[in-house]
Amino acid sequence: MIIDELKTQLLTVITISHDVDFCAEHFPRAVLMAQAQVLADGPAAEVLTDGPSLAHAAVELPQMVRLATELGMATRPLTVDAFVDAFADEREV
């Protein structure tokens, strides 16, 4: 994917999107905005798991976070790979 190629070249990539799953998969940092106001700015793992802030911006939690929540998992993984790892870890306990 072109975004991954640009990141390997150490270029800054800025994307504006409502697709939180895409953002969770490709970006370590997220800025959440609504009505021209910054609601959150920081690590994607924090910003994209903040349900109330995402709801205020009319954006859903990432799919893997929703699935982990429904399964009662303690962690909130953003990506499929992170979900698989977290699920395996929680089943071992």
| pLDDT value, residue 72 | 93
Instruction: Please determine, for residue 79, whether its predicted confidence score (pLDDT) is greater than 90.
Output: yes
| Residues near 44 by beta carbon (within 8 Å), at least 6 away in sequence | 23, 24, 27, 28, 29, 30, 78
Closest to 29 measured CA to CA, from 18, 10, 15, 8: 15
Model pTM score: 0.83
Domain that holds residue 59: 2-92
| pLDDT value, residue 24 | 94
Per-residue pLDDT, averaged over 47-62, amounts to: 95
Instruction: Write the pLDDT tens digit of every residue in 5-32.
Output: 887 888 888 889 999 999 999 999 999 9
For residue 92, give both structure tokens.
């071992």
> How many structural domains are present in the chain?
1
